[in-house]
Structure 1
Amino acid sequence: MATRTRRPDRRQEPLSRERIVSAAVELLDTVGESGLTFRALAERLATGPGAIYWHVTGKAELLGAATEAVVTTAIAGDDADATPQEAIRALARGVFDAIDAHPWVGTHLAHAPGQSPMLRVFERVGRQVQALRVPEAAQFTAASALLSYILGVAGQNAANGRTVRPGTDRTEFLDAVAAQWAELDPDQYPFTRSVAGQLPEHDDRAEFLAGIDLILSGITARQ
């Protein structure tokens, strides 16, 4: 009788909070917040829901941890050799790119202003506002204006991306919108008509960073 050779057991990476959070980020990117269930996460991790509950207490904690993981990576740059303006631009660019890649992050940040991920961004912005030697009485306003712009524009950009059907050609889409703007009533929309030709050529990221520069110019001009 032939002897059966026993295959070695497949080694599996042990389940950890980091693995769970990483899988949650992937699931959120794929199916969105509504698809983030412990059953779906357990299937992705090839484990049972009970094992996940050992590391996280529920969906709210999991969403917070996933958001913090993305935000922490986005703002992980070293500001040591940068000017305050350069540091703020780099942080803004990192958050913009992170929300563009993970649209659900912007929504969760907006709904959890007192939690750690939002505070991390606010703290980093605030330190650079202080480095700009903004008067103490104006520091909160300056940091809040920057934070609101960063999260607001980044979130709107991500939302705009979700409203366009997959596979839509960006140039064709913007050309069509520009054509609609050009046909608006000239008495009611004189400005919108005048900039319609710039719409198809604009770059969302470049416009976002230009807005950061405008805010920084205003902050420094008031000193």
Structure 2
Amino acid sequence: MASRARHPDRREDALSQERIIEAAVEMLDAGGESALTFRALSATLKTGPGAIYWHVANKGELLTAAADAVLTGAMPATGAGEVPQDVIRAVALGVFDAIEAHPWIGEQMSQLSSQSTTLRIFERLGRQVQALGVPGPAQFDAASALLNYILGVAAQNAAMARSVQRGTDRAEVLDLVASLWTSLDTDEYPFLRNIAAQLRDHDDRAQFLAGVDLILAGIASRYPPA
């Protein structure tokens, strides 16, 4: 009996959820959310859509899994004896760097479907807030302030990164806005005119970390260690 001919482009290795997510992340990085379709993913993986649906129910679930995989990998490992402030900074920078490298995550983090990812970050921050000695009734507010700042600023930078991907030059945008601020009325906008040069030359990552440090300083001032 003649043996069945094999498709020359068909994958021979077993398809796993991890491989599907890995390929999805690559497609999202290259072309954004619109580039990720099950048809395109099937072609990349050299398999049929049914094999993918066996592991993920729909595109929304796949986007959530992809965001979760990237952010989980970006979270620093923690151990006993670490300084809570240092852990919070590391978590914050992990999220910031991950979203800067994968701008599509910024939009996913604002979706309810990404709640599991957000909860993991919130848990990491909350444990460090507890370690700082913040009283129980105030822990929610302190951890929420950190989470909202981290996700908000990271999402803003993701939006800028998506603009750069579409051909917009960050330096040109900042220069244009700084020039606009410089031209504002002196009496009505003295502050904006004064910081225009800082806007033009600032480093997003350094400014982001400065904001985290301001929140940490506020927490320490309001809830000093016993």
- Assess same fold via TM > 0.5: yes
Does residue 92 of structure 1 match 2:64? Answer: no
What does residue 59 of structure 1 align with?
A: 59
Paired residues for 1:38-117 under 5 Å: 38-112=38-112, 115-117=115-117
Quote how far apart the aligned CAs of 1:169 are.
Answer: 5.0
Conserved 8 A contact 1:112-1:118: no
Task: Give unmatched runs, 5+ long, in structure 2.
Answer: 1-8
Task: Give unmatched runs, 5+ long, in structure 1.
Answer: 1-8
Conserved 8 A contact 2:182-2:193: yes
Greater shift in the superposed pair: 13-22 or 146-155: 13-22
What does residue 5 of structure 2 align with?
A: none
d(CA) in 2 for partners of 1:181, 1:79:
46
| Alignment-mate amino acid for residue 142 of structure 1 | A
What does residue 155 of structure 2 align with?
A: 155
d(CA) in 2 for partners of 1:42, 1:114:
24
Quote how far apart the aligned CAs of 1:171 are.
Answer: 3.8
| Alignment-mate amino acid for residue 37 of structure 1 | T
CA gap of 1:16–1:165, structure 2 versus 1, over 3 A, is closer
Aligned residue pair count:
215
Quote how far apart the aligned CAs of 1:188 are.
Answer: 2.6
Once the two structures are superposed, what CA deviation does each residue of 1:147-195 show, in whole Å capped at 9, x if it has no partner? 0000000110111222346565544443332222100122332211110
Length-normalised TM-score, structure 2: 0.88
What does residue 120 of structure 1 align with?
A: 120
| Alignment-mate amino acid for residue 106 of structure 1 | G
Quote how far apart the aligned CAs of 1:60 are.
Answer: 1.6
Alignment RMSD = 2.0
Give the secondary-structure state (helix, strand or coil) at the position aligned to 2:91: helix
CA gap of 1:26–1:165, structure 2 versus 1, over 3 A, is closer
